[in-house]
Amino acid sequence: MERGCSEIEELLPGYLSGDLQDKDRAMIDEWRSESPENEIIFQESLKAWEAIPLLSEMEQFNSFEALKKISPIINQKTTKWWIPIQRVAAILLLPLLIYSGYISIRNISLKNQQEAHVVMQTISSRQGMVTQFELADGTKVWLNSGSSLQFPNLFTGDLREVKLSGEAFFEVTKNENQPFLVKAKDLNIEVLGTSFNVVSYDDEKQAEVVLVEGKVSLSSEIDQVKKVFGTLNPGQRVVYLDKNQQVLAEEVEVDKYIAWRDGNLIFRDDKMEDVVRRLSRWFNVEIVINDPEIKNYAYKATFRNENLTQVLNLLKISAPIDYQMIDNMMLPNGEYSKQKVYLMKKKKV
């Protein structure tokens, strides 16, 4: 039996409000069971019928009053330890500064005792943090995330020698009688008094030096075979390639290479490959470029204190790049894998 849909729809409000007589009610029930389309019409009607009462129900719950009620509980339960890493880093920096102060004082007292016990020590900078400290001679060191510096508590002899793994910025106190030497893998960087940046991560096939002011001389030493490369001028950047022990020099804007000291990341037409390398170090994540096409994309940006998600979102907005983040996963040995980020070409909309 075909019934006009409008006849049914006319009866629906009565059905939904329960006012309908049994005969008409049975007719609607039958119509509903006739086809899935009818049932959808019914469901949609029910939805429209109940929407306003549901809204009224929601309106009776006052979120502002409720929030006032739980806010004091929440304030009590806030523990300062869960504030973001940047702030924690700042707090952790303090003991290190105090520690370095302690070392300097101890050095003075050791000198007074004229008992120069030279002890090698190592300071490491944890992931996502920049550590600043002073060496015994007053040289200031900024140690980037995931880097470590080995140095003596006291500089004796005719050379001030330190060993770097990772990235550091040095502001070397001038002392012409006792040159300062940074050993970074095979590379030796010798200076009198100057400031410069060194990048030399163990898992990378190159090391680089950027000179801000003064003069440094570069040489390499492998199996006691010394190779002298010459001196570097301010504003120059030298890349040393492990594979052929060659150096390449270029003029650069030094700012972007030393901005990390203040927690900034500066990119100036850098290849996405380099951007990714620096971001993964900075945030201690694994970033994988899925599309070879975007590897050479030149990127320009400055990040200040943004967290990983914010940086990725900015990347997404300003470049034809999209990303997918995968959280840390528990490995079979119970450790957690690094957080992974995949970059790919943005799909055209």
Partner 1 sequence: MWATNEIDLKDLIIIEGLERNDKVVFDYVFNYYYSSLCAFSMQYIGNRSSVEDLVQDFFVYLWVEAPRLKIKSSLKSYLFTAIKNRCLDYQKHHKIIEKYRTFLLYSTVNEDDSTEQFFAESELRQAIQTSLAKLPPRCREIFELSRLNGLSNQEIAEKLNLSKRTVELQVSNSLKILRKELAEFLPFWILVLLIW
Token pair for 23: 């005969």
Nearer to partner 1, 69 or 226 (CB): 69
Task: For residue 135, give the 3-state DSSP assignment.
Answer: coil
Token pair for 307: 């967290």
* Among residues 26, 35, 46, 262, the one that binds partner 1 under rule CB under 8 A: 46
* Among residues 309, 318, 336, 337, the one that binds partner 1 under rule CB under 8 A: 309
Applying CB under 8 A, which part among 58-66, 208-216, 221-229, 273-281 lies near partner 1? 58-66
CA distance 236 to 222: 24
How many positions of this chain bind partner 1 (CB under 8 A)? 53
**Binding of residue 118 to partner 1 (CB under 8 A):** no
Q: Which of 323, 276, 325, 324 is nearest to 297 (CA)?
A: 276
Dihedral sign, Cα of residue 290, residue 294, residue 298, residue 302:
negative
**Binding of residue 181 to partner 1 (CB under 8 A):** no
CA distance 65 to 88: 34
**Binding of residue 288 to partner 1 (CB under 8 A):** no
Nearer to partner 1, 45 or 178 (CB): 45
**Binding of residue 120 to partner 1 (CB under 8 A):** no
* Among residues 22, 36, 37, 64, the one that binds partner 1 under rule CB under 8 A: 64
Nearer to partner 1, 26 or 116 (CB): 26
CA distance 190 to 62: 69
- Minimum CB separation of residue 75 from partner 1 in Å reads 9
Task: For residue 95, give the 3-state DSSP assignment.
Answer: helix
Write each residue from 70 to 99 as x if it is in contact with partner 1 (CB under 8 A), else as -, in one continuous string. Answer: x--xx--xx---xxx---------------
Decide: 207 and 199 in contact? Cβ < 8 Å. Answer: yes
* Among residues 30, 44, 253, 255, the one that binds partner 1 under rule CB under 8 A: 44
**Binding of residue 331 to partner 1 (CB under 8 A):** no
| Tokens 């996963």, residue located | 329
**Binding of residue 327 to partner 1 (CB under 8 A):** yes
Continuous H helices in the chain: 5-17, 22-34, 36-59, 63-77, 85-113, 255-258, 272-283, 308-318
State the residues that interact with partner 1 by CB under 8 A.
Answer: 9-14, 18-19, 25, 40-41, 43-64, 66-67, 69-70, 73-74, 77-78, 82-84, 307, 309-310, 313, 324-327, 329
